[in-house]
Chain A
Amino acid sequence: ETGVTQSPTHLIKTRGQQVTLRCSSQSGHNTVSWYQQALGQGPQFIFQYYREEENGRGNFPPRFSGLQFPNYSSELNVNALELDDSALYLCASSPLAGGSQETQYFGPGTRLLVL
C-alpha cells in the first residue's frame, strides 16, 4: 500500500450542494494530482498542485477547485454538485523533480454519490 491517504471514504450529497475532499501525500512528495474516475472508465485528470500552486488543469469547469497546504496535503472542492459528478475521486502524490515524469502513487479514493 502507498502512504497516500484520503478522506472521507464515502460521501452522499444532493444536487447543488458543495463538497470538500481531502488528501495527504506520501512522505517526501511535494506534488498532488486529482483524478475523477467514473464507473467503468479510466481516471480523468482534474488538476495538479505543486508547492501550493495549481500546475496544470484538465477539462473540468471552474466549480472544481483545489488547494495545497504547506505540508503538501491537498483539498478538492466541488461546488454546485451535479448528478454526473458521482464518481470515485482519486488523488495521487509524486515527487516532482525538475519537470521530469515521476511515478504517481494513488490514494484509496473517495466515492461520491450525488442524488
Chain B
Amino acid sequence: GENVEQHPSTLSVQEGDSAVIKCTYSDSASNYFPWYKQELGKRPQLIIDIRSNVGEKKDQRIAVTLNKTAKHFSLHITETQPEDSAVYFCAGGGGATNKLIFGTGTLLAVQP
C-alpha cells in the first residue's frame, strides 16, 4: 500500500549547522511532496513543497530535492536557528483525491 518513510526520527544540531531529513515513498503515482513544520500544540504549517516535474527547489535557508527514480526526497535546512526547532513531516500526494500520506516525523532540536 501507500507508505512514506522518514528518517531520522530525532535530529540534534548546533546553531548554524545544516540539517537534512530524508523520506522515501512507495506509490509511483505520487507527484506532490510538501514539507510541514509543526510546533508543539500547533497546526502543521507548510514550509516548502515540490512537484514531480522539478528536481530541486529552494526558499532562503530551506531547500528540497526530489529523485523520482529512487522515490526519495529530502529537506535541507542551512544555518539552523533555535526557532527552527520543531517536528517536521514530509508527505506524498498524487491523483484525483489530493490526499496526503505523511511520514512519521522528525523532531529537530537546534542547540544554541
A binding-site residues for B, Cβ under 8 Å: 2, 31, 33, 35, 40-45, 48, 55-56, 58, 90, 94, 96, 99, 101-109
Report the minimum CB–CB distance from B58 to chain A (whole Å).
17
Report the minimum CB–CB distance from B55 to chain A (whole Å).
17
User: How many residues in B have their beta carbons less than 8 Å from beta carbons of A?
Assistant: 27
Q: Does B102 contact A (CB under 8 A)?
A: yes
Give every chain A residue within 8 A of B32 (Cβ-Cβ): 101
B binding-site residues for A, Cβ under 8 Å: 6, 31-32, 34, 36, 42-46, 49, 51, 89, 91, 93-105
Tell which of A31, A44, A48, A106 touches B45, judged by Cβ atoms closer than 8 Å.
A106
Q: Are A58 and B43 in contact (CB under 8 A)?
A: no
* CB nearest to B105 among chain A residues: A42
Give every chain B residue within 8 A of A2 (Cβ-Cβ): 43
**What CA separation (Å) do A41 and B89 show in the bound complex?**
10
Tell which of B46, B95, B102 touches A105, judged by Cβ atoms closer than 8 Å.
B46
**What CA separation (Å) do A102 and B51 show in the bound complex?**
10
**What CA separation (Å) do A108 and B95 show in the bound complex?**
26
Q: Are B105 and A41 in contact (CB under 8 A)?
A: yes
Give every chain A residue within 8 A of B94 (Cβ-Cβ): 101
Tell which of B6, B98, B105 touches A104, judged by Cβ atoms closer than 8 Å.
B98
Give every chain B residue within 8 A of A104 (Cβ-Cβ): 34, 46, 98, 100
A-B pairs with beta carbons under 8 Å apart, 30 shown: A2-B43, A35-B100, A35-B102, A40-B105, A41-B104, A41-B105, A42-B89, A42-B104, A42-B105, A43-B44, A43-B89, A48-B97, A55-B97, A58-B99, A90-B44, A96-B98, A99-B95, A99-B98, A101-B32, A101-B93, A101-B98, A103-B34, A104-B34, A104-B98, A105-B46, A106-B36, A106-B44, A106-B45, A108-B42, A108-B43
